[in-house]
Structure formats: C-alpha cells, structure tokens
Amino acid sequence: MHYKFKKIEEKWQKKWLAAHAFRAQADSTRKKYYLLEMFPYPSGKIHMGHVRNYTIGDVASRFKMLQGYNVMHPMGFDAFGQPAENAAIKNKTKPDTWTRKCIKEMETELKRMGFSYDWEREVSTCDSDYYKWNQWIFLKMFERGLAYKKASAVNWCPSCSTTLANEEVVEGGCWRCHTKVEQKDLEQWYLKITEYKERLLEDLSQLKEWPQRVLAMQNNWIGKSSGVDIYFRLKDRDRVIPVFTTRADTIFGATYIVLAPEHPLVKELIQGRRQEKEALEFIDKVAKESKVVRASTDIKKEGVFTGSFAVNPVNNEEVPIWIADYVLMEYGTGAIMAVPTHDQRDFLFAREHKLAMRVVIQPKGNSINAEDLSQAYEGDGIQINSAEFNGLSNLEAKEKIAAWMEKKGIGKIQTHWRLRDWLISRQRYWGTPIPIIYCSKCGIVPVPYKDLPVELAKDAPFTGEGGNPLGKVKKFVEVKCPKCKGAARRETDTMATFFDSSWYFLRFCSPKFNDAPFNIGEAKYWMTVDQYIGGIEHAILHLLYSRFFTKFFQDIGMVDFPEPFQRLLTQGMVLKDGEVMSKSKGNIVDPDSMIKDYGADALRLFILFAAPPETELEWEERGLEGALKFLNRVWRIQENLKDKADAELLKVLHKTIKKVTEDFGEFKFNTAIANLMELTNAIYQLGADREVFSKLVIMLSPIAPHFCEELWEILGNKQSIFKASWLEYDPQLLVEENVELVIQVNGKVRSKIEVPRDIPEDKLKELVLKDEKLVPWLEGRPLKKFILVPQKLINIVI
RNA sequence: GCCGAAGUGGUGGAAUGGCAUACACGUCGGUCUCAAAAACCGAUGAGGGCAACCUCGUAAGGGUUCAACUCCCUUCUUCGGCACCA
C-alpha cells in the first residue's frame, strides 16, 4: 500500500493557502533571498518543462526558508501574446476571456504541485495595472530619445502578420511559427538598446554565477569587433569611401574594393558609365533576394564592376570599385577592401572575375605566390610587399599599420557591433498599446502620464482578417491631440511582449504600487534577484532585454545596481525517448495525470533525482515509480522507531546533514537525494529513533513538502515544518577513530588496512610492510618511495 | 569557420588529482505466500580462474605525476549559439 498522497497533498495545499504560509514582507532586520523562476505564458496547462523549472526553484526556496532567510518567491503570468488572439478567432471569444480562463487553470495546476509562491504578489502582464507601467517606461524612454520611430526594412512574418525583432528571427524563420521571414519597408518603433552596447558587454564579466554558455551567447550576439576604418578616395572626385577591416595588416594586398548594392554612393558611381545598366539590374536582383538566400555561405558570390576607381591611401594605387551581394550594408561601413590572397571570400570573388591578387603575408618557413594559390592564406606570418612594414610579424604590423594610418589621417581605429536597435512595435491586438498620438499639426505626441493607462479597446472585432483589430475601433483610434486639442489619431501598434517581461522582476517587489512601476525602497530591499531559473531558450532575448531595462532604471535613478540577476541557472529540457516533448511528436507526458497516479511529491522527487538540473532529463515512468517507492520506504520508518539510535547511525546522519546542506546550496539535488537514500538504507539496517527520523524528514521536506509536513505532524509537531530550522552537523561525529587506508603498489590497489587515525608514519610503514597481501608484490624489489596521503591512501613505489 | 558545453556499466547518473561506476532503474537469485503482488535480503563493468585472485576498462592517441574520468597537447563524435560580420 502506498501512503495516501492524494489526501495528504490536498490537505497541506489548503493549509498553506489559508495560512498565507509563503507571504513575503520586507524586513530590514532579516537577510532576504529573492528566488525567481521565469514566469510562464498562460497556455492553460503546465508541461513537464514548467514542472522541472518550478520544482528546482521551489526546493531552493524552501531550503532557504528553513535556513532562516526572508524568502520572496513570486509567480505571475506573461499573459500578452499571439496565441490568445488565434484562440479568440478560432473559438469566437475574446483574448481577454481566453487568457483569464487559462490563468485560472494554470494557477490550479501550479498549486497542485505544492509550489511555495506568495500568491498575493501575483501579476499578469495583461492587467492594465501592469501594462500601464509598460507605457510609463516607454514614455520615459521616449523622453530620453531611447524610444524612437524610424522607417526601414524590417523582419516581417507573413503568417503572424507582424514585425519581428532581430532576436526573434531564428535561422531565417519566425521564432514562434518558423514561417520564412520577409523584408518589408515600414515605419516602426525601436528601443535604442545599442546605446547600452558597451555596458551590456562589459558587465557580462560581473556575472560570475551565470553559465558560461549564456555569457558566450550574449557576447556573440552583441558582437564587438575591433579594427580600422580606412578611407579610400575616389580617383576622379573629391569623395571618400570608408571601408572597415579587422585585418589592417593586409592593406597593401587590397586590390579592389566592394560596396554593398544598397550603398548610398553606388548610384553616383555608376551614373553615365558603360556598366550602368548591368549594375542597376544587379542591384534590383539583389534587392528582391531574401536575407536567408543572400546569407547562405555556399552560394556563388556575384557582383558587377561600377566603372569607377578608388585610390588605396597607403600606396596610391588605383583599384577598381565593385558591388557584390556578399557585402552587407548593415555591417561595418557597407564597404570592404578586398584582399583575395588573405580572405577566402575575396579570393573566390577575385578568381571568378579575374581580379588582381598580391601576397602580403608569408607563412613562416614557407613561400606562397598569388598564381599558385588554390585558396586564400588566412593564417599568420611575415609581412612582405608592405613598404616599411616588411619583415614584421603580421600581428605586430596590424597594430603598427593601424596607428600609422590614424596618424596620417587615412584611417581611424574603429569598433563595429553586431547588436541592432530593438524593434518593438507589433501589428497585433493583444499587447500593450504604444502610448503615442499622431497629430497632423503637432506630429508625434506622447500620451500625457496622467492619461495612462491607454487601455486596450475591449470590443475590438476578431475576424482573423484585415490587420490589427485595434485599428477598427473608432473610439480607440480617433482622439484629440493632447497638445493642440485638434483631431488626431492614436497609434494602433502594440508592444512586443518581451517588453512586459523585461522588468516584471521589479514589479514583484511591490506588485500593487500605484505611483510608479515599482516602489524604490521595496526594490532596494529585495533586488537583485539572488537566484533566477529558466530555460536556455531565453539566453539572448529575455535576459539581454532585462539587463538593458535594469541599466535604464539605473540611469533614471530608480535602482542602484547595473545587473538584475545575481545567479542564473538554465535548466535542461525534459525529453521522452531522446526527443523534446511536443504535440506534433505525440510524446507529451501530462504532469496532471502523473500527480494523480503518483502524487506531486513523487513527481518532484523523480524529476530532481533523475539528472542534475542543468542537463537534459530523460522521462522514465519507472523512475517515477521508484520515487514513490522511496517515499513509502521513508513513511514506514515511523512505524518502527526505537528509543535510542546507535552511535553508528548518528555518524551516518551527520555525514548526511553535511553533504545534503552542501548539495542543496549548489543545486546538486540528485546527489542530495542519493545521500538521503543512503541514510534511509542505514536506518533500515540499524533502526532509528524519533530524533534521527525527524532530521531525515526535515532534510527531505524541500523536495517532498506535503509528505514531510504530514510526517512532521505525526511526529507530534504543531507548527509547519517550514517554521523549523535547518540542521547543523556535529564535526566531532564525522571524525572516525579508525580509518581504512588503501594500499597501492605502483599506483594499483593491492590491499587495505584499518589503522587508528593518528598513527605515526613510521609505525604505519612498519605495519604496511608486514602486510601479507603485499609480499608477492614487494618481494625482492627495492622500495623507492613511500607516499602517504593522510587518512586516505598509501602508495608504495618499487 | 568562430565561440560554448559534453562524451563513464544494459539505462539515468556519481566521483574535479588519491579505492572508477555512489544512489537509483533494469535484470537475476533468495525470504515471505497455496500462488501472485507488495515488502525485505543478496548479486550485477568486461574477460580469465575451482578459488585466492589476475588482466583490461571512463570517445581515441600522446604527455605531466608516486597516482589521471579529473590537469596539458592532438584527434574524433554529439549537442547548442553566431556567421558571406570584412
């Protein structure tokens, strides 16, 4: 028979809720601990990924609680977003109705897992109490020129019929529906995240407790690249084309330059030339190409000659100016110098179009020449054909040439970045309205703070056709200009939902605060988030945006720290048969039915035991059975308690306390559980008294909270187990009088010996050399060395 | 191509210089039972040996060390990020 998990879990969930057991209040006399898991999109059902994420967080939270910290562990819902609109169209309902129903269902499921949230702090981003502050933040950014509108080619998802941020384009497709992203010229709202690029990059080094790979991904994404802008003069006109290079050492090998087809100078360069028609056709062709096609490395590099020439400023050589599709307008200066001998792309292009090549770097101990090359030499070496720089190593020359060019005014040491401004407007209904009004007289007018929130029109029609439903609500669109009171039109675009989640961790500090997005004093107490837990899929998007927002709040004096998340854990995915669980694969395991069959505590235990938190976890129902089996085993201990535990068991207990405390602190829940299992096994061998058993129950309580509350009550305690304190171990009990030493001969284990722990070395040596088992190994061979690792091992070298 | 993570029994995994495979799953054997389930006890890396034991073994190869899953070098494989980024 299993212990009655269903009854027990329901009982304690009710009690916790009624007692506001996890209510957090700022208290400057107590040490705080802010634990946060990434809040979910309310799809209605939780999945195993949520269960894993939130279980990890819950154990950490309850452990810190037992350790006496003032723990804040909030939960909320990232409730805006497209699925609600799709559902509204499909089910003929409103996004609002649908979302709220989903939130209700999800709350129930989360409660059923026994998570220790302070539900009084719950926020949903779709509440105007919340999104009002999105608008407030937007206006603050607008005032500082950090929110701005511009027309440009933007990423457009035809299936979602909305724009996408660069961060939301994954392998050329929409991050949500994978539809191929198109380019469209639109006027859109942007946030100037690029203004923070240096700080976003530099402060990564402060994040010592973030996973390496997340730091690496952010680093890549920001994409700082240092080099030189070199100024090429036009041969027949007083105009300059700057090109960007990271390889200033190859400048003497630049035999032509290439502009992106969209480069503003191109039209002028080709005008009236023999090549004009061909060039125009080429530009037109490239313009029609999608970014994905153009970005594929394996495609042949195409280009045309402009008919114009430029002058290489280091040697006054005339070089032809080409345009080619492999040069991108968005990066660097939109123009490059081509060094076919030392850049593979230039090499392929030059060979195709029979352009000149010159070797300027010789590999050490080898000699190459342009005619014989089958590919570019991109490695290091010694400068040749480079005037006064000949003979230098190219690495040295790179520095020297850059400095020399800067001094002569023909170049400038320059840094270029990959990071672009963040496109935030979306042509969708279910999001935060952008608080802007367009007036034919006054232009772009921000909605005054006193008029916030700009509420979503509740009665927008959901037909699935004809663009943003907000645009069809006259009442919403037609407004008076706040400045001149004349007729004006309201912005109908809404904000990307990543805006909402970029600061919710601050809102949790004072979720009902009415005067600002958050109460500065409360945030000062609770922030920063001590431990943040979530999926790796947010390594760039959400985490980068949140860092940006925090720096913005720092700049406007609302917080006094640059980074929001002290420590980050990215939990691994839950797999079934080696694959990610998904509807399309039909391999989804529903947490709710697992709770029904095994109980939430067993589910929590299994998911923590099966793998360390960061690695992928293979779903195995047998393992879940095993977890329940273990809980039953612990349950039965109470039926056979002794009056006094023996000394041997106390030693095991205190070792376990030490190990489990350390493991919990480092989120090594799998080994912590293994240790608790060993203690349980020892209790089965030796028998436990009520004190030892109570301690086992305390250690297990963060993992299986309902189960342990019940046992705690059975043991006669009146208060919740989470009012108890965590355990101290007695170091005295960890000291063994006798220790077993391993005896190795030449590094191989040949014998073992039990000796008093403080035995003097000479006496030990005498004892060891008498060991019968060693005789065949030592006989007739001179002893070279006797190595003793105290209390562990002896190695005899012969 | 660049950056990052990883590779250990039949399986999930443990050990971060000191007994490789803790803990669990699975499998096999036993106790209890008319029988089964549950529970409990035991065995379980491979090969050899009646046995005591021996040899091999942490992706592959090399190195450092008395001692290497662990540190260093080279290579391979898998996963993830970035990428005609100049």
pLDDT tens per residue, range A482-508:
999 999 999 999 999 999 999 999 999
What are the b/e assignments for A224-245, b being 16+ CB within 10 Å?
Answer: eeebbbbbbbbeeeeeebbbbb
In this complex, the nucleotide whose C1' atom is nearest to the CA atom of residue A225 is B85
In this complex, the nucleotide whose C1' atom is nearest to the CA atom of residue A622 is B25
On chain B, which bases lie within 7 A of the protein's CB atoms? Answer: 2-5, 11-15, 18-20, 22-26, 38-41, 54-55, 66-68, 80-86
Residue range A90-117: mean pLDDT, rounded: 95
Task: DSSP for A334-350, please give it.
Answer: SEEEE-TTT-HHHHHHH
In this complex, the nucleotide whose C1' atom is nearest to the CA atom of residue A1 is B38
The answer to whether residue A727 scores a pLDDT higher than 70 is yes
- Residue A721, pLDDT score: 97
A536 in Cβ contact with A570 (< 8 Å) = yes
- Residue A290, pLDDT score: 65
Please write the tens of the pLDDT for every residue from A526-541: 999 999 999 888 888 8
Residue range A149-165: mean pLDDT, rounded: 86
The answer to whether residue A301 scores a pLDDT higher than 80 is no
Residue A375 tokens, joined:
């590919």
Which residue has the closest alpha carbon to B85 C1'? A331
**Burial classification of residue A795, based on how many CB atoms lie within 10 Å of its CB (0-12 exposed, 13-18 middle, 19 or more buried):** middle
- Residue A515, pLDDT score: 96
- Secondary structure (3-state) at A513: coil
Please write the tens of the pLDDT for every residue from A262-292: 899 999 999 889 999 999 999 988 877 766 6
Spanning CA of A680 to C1' of B9, the rounded length in angstroms is 25
- For chain A, give the percent of residues with pLDDT over 70: 98
Which residue has the closest alpha carbon to B66 C1'? A797
The answer to whether residue A166 scores a pLDDT higher than 90 is no
Q: Which residues are CB-neighbours of A107 under 8 A, at least 6 positions away?
A: A119, A122
The answer to whether residue A294 scores a pLDDT higher than 90 is no
A267 in Cβ contact with A283 (< 8 Å) = no
Residue A246 tokens, joined:
């990271």
Residue A746 tokens, joined:
């030449």
Please write the tens of the pLDDT for every residue from A246-256: 999 999 999 99
A341 in Cβ contact with A376 (< 8 Å) = yes
Q: Which residues are CB-neighbours of A206 under 8 A, at least 6 positions away?
A: A562, A563
Spanning CA of A569 to C1' of B77, the rounded length in angstroms is 27
Spanning CA of A378 to C1' of B74, the rounded length in angstroms is 22
Under the banding of pLDDT at 50, 70 and 90, the label for residue A792 is confident
**Burial classification of residue A714, based on how many CB atoms lie within 10 Å of its CB (0-12 exposed, 13-18 middle, 19 or more buried):** exposed
- Residue A292, pLDDT score: 61
Q: Which residues are CB-neighbours of A682 under 8 A, at least 6 positions away?
A: A649, A652
Instruction: Report the complex ipTM.
Output: 0.95
- Residue A752, pLDDT score: 84
How far is C-alpha A227 from the chain's CA centre?
A: 29
In this complex, the nucleotide whose C1' atom is nearest to the CA atom of residue A246 is B86
- Residue A539, pLDDT score: 86
In this complex, the nucleotide whose C1' atom is nearest to the CA atom of residue A293 is B84
- Residue A590, pLDDT score: 92
Please write the tens of the pLDDT for every residue from A421-456: 999 999 999 999 999 999 999 999 999 999 999 999
Instruction: Report the 10 Å Cβ neighbour count for A489.
Output: 15
Spanning CA of A440 to C1' of B14, the rounded length in angstroms is 71
The answer to whether residue A299 scores a pLDDT higher than 80 is no
Under the banding of pLDDT at 50, 70 and 90, the label for residue A793 is confident
- How far is the C-alpha of A696 from the C-alpha of A708, rounded, in Å? 9
Which residue has the closest alpha carbon to B3 C1'? A216
- Residue A167, pLDDT score: 82
- How far is the C-alpha of A2 from the C-alpha of A551, rounded, in Å? 53
Q: Which comes out higher in pLDDT, residue A420 or A34?
A: A34
Report chain A's terminal Cα–Cα distance, integer Å.
Answer: 59
How far is C-alpha A287 from the chain's CA centre?
A: 34
- For chain A, give the percent of residues with pLDDT over 90: 67
In this complex, the nucleotide whose C1' atom is nearest to the CA atom of residue A335 is B86
What rounded mean pLDDT belongs to chain A?
91
> Dihedral of CA A464/A470/A472/A473: which sign?
positive
Note if the bond before A453 is cis, omega within 30 degrees.
yes
Which residue has the closest alpha carbon to B38 C1'? A1
Spanning CA of A418 to C1' of B3, the rounded length in angstroms is 15
Residue A46 tokens, joined:
């939780």
Please write the tens of the pLDDT for every residue from A213-236: 899 899 989 999 889 999 999 988
Spanning CA of A794 to C1' of B56, the rounded length in angstroms is 24
Under the banding of pLDDT at 50, 70 and 90, the label for residue A380 is confident
Under the banding of pLDDT at 50, 70 and 90, the label for residue A770 is confident
Spanning CA of A376 to C1' of B1, the rounded length in angstroms is 13
Please write the tens of the pLDDT for every residue from A547-588: 999 999 999 999 999 999 999 999 998 888 777 887 777 788
A335 in Cβ contact with A263 (< 8 Å) = yes
In this complex, the nucleotide whose C1' atom is nearest to the CA atom of residue A291 is B84
Spanning CA of A609 to C1' of B72, the rounded length in angstroms is 34
Please write the tens of the pLDDT for every residue from A331-363: 889 999 999 999 988 998 998 899 999 999 988
Q: Which residues are CB-neighbours of A741 under 8 A, at least 6 positions away?
A: A752, A753, A754, A755, A764, A791, A792, A793, A794
Residue A20 tokens, joined:
């506001």
Spanning CA of A147 to C1' of B20, the rounded length in angstroms is 59
- How far is the C-alpha of A468 from the C-alpha of A646, rounded, in Å? 74
- Mapped to the 3 state alphabet, what secondary structure does A611-670 carry? CCCCCCEECCHHHHHHHHHHHHHHHHHHHHCECCCCHHHHHHHHHHHHHHHHHHHCCCHH
